[in-house]
Structures are given as C-alpha cells and as structure tokens.
C-alpha cells in the first residue's frame, strides 16, 4: 500500500511544520503561595505544597505545613527598603526558609554552610522573579549573607 495519508501530525512534520512542544517551566512559581497566619505567632504555615522552578528547570518544593517567618529581619531595616514580612517576595522567602531549616538538620558544618549559600543564591534569583529591582535585590541578598555569618 502506497498511502501518503499517515496522519495529520506526520504530514505536518514531513511538510516542515513546527510542532508545539510543552513549555519547560523555568524561573516561575507554581502559583500563589497560600499561608495561614495566626495573630499570636510570627510564623505562617503553608496550606499546600509550594514550588519554584529555577533557571535550569529544577524544582524546589516546600511541603504543606512548613512554617515560615517570611522576610525576617528588623522591621526598621525592612521599612527602609520598602518590604513587609509577609508582603511582596513572600514566595522567595518560603523556599529560602525551607532550605535554611533543612540545613539545620545536616550534621556537617561545611554541608550546612554550602546549602545555605546555595539557598541564598537561589533566593536572589527568586527575588527577581518576584519583581524586585536590581538594587533592592542586592541589598536584601547582602543582608541575608551578612546575617548568615552570625547564624550557626
């Protein structure tokens, strides 16, 4: 049988049509972060899993029930750069806090420091996705890196 009708998608490929491929998720969050914050606590809990897809397409997920303190730091310092603990950038804070909390579970100090530094670099990338300008991103990133020197 010499049939040339092998299927629409095959015909399109033979004719040189470009097939639509599913977009790879990069530099984006899985959706809006859903938090439950009580009035007597400085922390908020995730109501569902929250994921960030980095520039290489890897996913970083904070599980449901994880407690975050948001953009921690002295309120005066946050006010200077126009941030609030659970305002813009909370998405980046959730993933960053998850990795920092996980680093505390590592027995080797070198591994803890490596994971924290990696989390801080990822945090910088996520702040850009959250819409922070370059100067504000760098200020927040530097503050996190300086504070990490005092955290054991």
CB within 8 Å of 125: residues ≥ 6 apart? 27, 54, 55
Angstrom distances, CA of residue 118 to CA of 21, 53, 95, 103, 140: 31, 15, 12, 11, 15
Q: What percent of the chain has pLDDT over 90?
A: 27
Q: Decide if 15 is inside a domain.
A: no
Q: Decide if 127 is inside a domain.
A: yes
Q: Decide if 19 is inside a domain.
A: no
pLDDT at 85: 65
> Who wins on pLDDT, 62 or 21?
62
Has residue 80 got a pLDDT over 80?
no
For residue 45, what are the domain limits? 25-148
pLDDT tens for residues 40-60?
Answer: 678 889 999 999 999 888 899
Average pLDDT, integer, range 72-100 = 74
Q: Decide if 36 is inside a domain.
A: yes
Q: Decide if 128 is inside a domain.
A: yes
Q: Decide if 42 is inside a domain.
A: yes
Q: Decide if 8 is inside a domain.
A: no
Has residue 12 got a pLDDT over 70?
no
Q: Give all strands (DSSP E) within 63-140, no chain letters.
A: 67-68
Q: Decide if 11 is inside a domain.
A: no
Average pLDDT, integer, range 90-111 = 89
For the chain, the average pLDDT equals: 79
pLDDT at 74: 54
CA 14 – CA 37 distance, rounded (Å): 57
Q: What is the number of domains present in the chain?
A: 1
């Amino acid at each position: 049988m010499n049939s040339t009708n092998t299927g629409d998608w095959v015909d399109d490929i033979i004719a040189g049509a470009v097939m639509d491929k599913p977009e790879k998720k990069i530099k984006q969050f899985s959706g809006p972060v859903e938090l439950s914050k009580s009035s007597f606590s400085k922390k908020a809990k995730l109501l569902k899993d929250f994921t960030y897809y980095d520039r290489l397409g890897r996913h970083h997920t904070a599980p449901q029930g994880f407690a975050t303190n948001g953009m921690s730091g002295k309120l005066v310092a946050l006010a200077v750069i126009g941030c609030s603990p659970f305002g813009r950038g909370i998405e980046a804070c959730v993933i960053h806090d998850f990795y920092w909390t996980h680093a505390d579970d590592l027995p080797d100090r070198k591994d803890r420091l490596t994971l924290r530094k990696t989390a801080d670099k990822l945090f910088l990338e996520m702040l850009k996705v959250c819409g922070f300008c370059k100067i504000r991103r760098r200020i927040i990133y530097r503050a996190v890196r300086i504070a990490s020197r005092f955290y054991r």
